[in-house]
Amino acid sequence: MPAVRLATWNVNSALSRLPRLLPWLDERAPDVVCLQETKLSDAAFAEAFDAPLAERGYAVAHHGEGRWNGVALLSRVGLDDVERGLPAEPRFPTPDAPAEARAVTATCGGLRVTSVYVPNGRTPDDPHYAYKLEWLAALHASVSDPGSAVIAGDMNVAPTDDDLWDPSLFVDSTHVTPAERGALASLRELGLHDVVRDRWPAERVFSYWDYRAGRFHQDLGMRIDLVLAGTEPAARVVAAWIDRKARKGKGPSDHAPVIVDLDTAPDGDIGPVVPPPSTPAKLPHRA
DNA sequence: ATGTCTGTAGTATACAGA
């Protein structure tokens, strides 16, 4: 299997992010990209992105609805067996509502990659929170081969209090409840690894900062964008980091991309893995 | 600071979602 640079980025509208997204692709040169919150129909995404992405060698699978949500997979290491949505995904606000565009899966470079945008939940007493938990259960049920799976995207859950700038502000909030964290634990029990936290076990590492109140400048963020990798890809991780530079400057998303480099797969058995030196050597903490 | 962005409706400015 080839070496692969995989990235995930909640772009908060692909169209308004176009002037940042294309230069970012050129700079970081990811092979597989999971996008969330494209906020475009499939036709509108194709109109804006098909030509510039084809020029850069990417095949595209977009799953959109228009105003809200919308996910995509870009790949230049193959894009096969595309599945839109999840099997038996829940509906909101009623069971007869149309499914929201929150997941798209394809096989890219030998990996079964899913780009996910987990429902926000709003507040723990909101029906949207129950929907969030149902959606996470459907995500768990969708993983048929955890060994080669990669689930990447905006999980809208902070795995631990270390993933919050101030845990005291999240009492009685979504993103931190035992049920939400339990859903992440269930994915972990399938053998999926949170590869950024594994690489930076004690660092202040965030992926999202509210636009308001200078939160990014003060590094008051959360880590809710995750790459969850199965045993096989997790053993190939040579770098895993958050691209804070993409959150700076004019017209950023409120999320930063997560970038994970996988080395080539070894021949034969994947034996005990000694974590190799990772790049970048030091993750910057400050804007 | 309930502090900013986004898209939509619709043409100025309000709304909702995050």
Q: What is the pLDDT of residues A103-148, one digit of tens each?
A: 999 999 999 999 999 999 999 999 999 999 999 999 999 999 999 9
Q: Are A177 and A124 in contact (CB under 8 A)?
A: yes
Please tell me the distance from the alpha carbon of residue A141 to that of residue A3, in angstroms, as a whole number.
28
Q: What is the pLDDT of residues A88-105, one digit of tens each?
A: 999 999 999 999 999 999
- Is the per-residue pLDDT at A273 higher than 70? no
Tens-place pLDDT, residues A188-226? 999 999 999 999 999 999 999 999 999 999 999 999 999
Check whether residue A214 has its CB closer than 7 Å to nucleic acid strand B.
yes
Positions 25-84 of A with beta carbon below 7 A from strand B are 39, 66-68
Phi and psi torsions of A55, nearest 5°: -60, -30
- Protein-to-nucleotide distance from the CA of A65 to the C1' of B11, whole angstroms: 26
Mean pLDDT of A12-17: 96
Please, what is the average pLDDT of chain A?
93
Give, as one character, the DSSP assignment of residue A100: P
User: Given this model, what pLDDT does residue A56 score?
Assistant: 98
Q: Note the CA–C1' distance, A173 to B3, in angstroms.
A: 20
User: Strands of A258-262's sheet, edge to edge?
Assistant: A59-63, A71-75, A32-36, A4-10, A258-262, A237-242
Q: pLDDT confidence of A172, banded at 50, 70, 90? A: confident
Protein footprint on strand B: which nucleotides are under 7 Å from a CB?
1-8, 17-18
pLDDT band for position A282 (50/70/90)? very low
| DSSP one-letter code for A255 | B
Distances (CA, A) of A176 to A73, A158, A167, A192, A214: 28, 6, 9, 19, 23
Chain A residues 100 to 129 with C-beta below 7 Å from nucleic strand B:
119-120, 122, 128
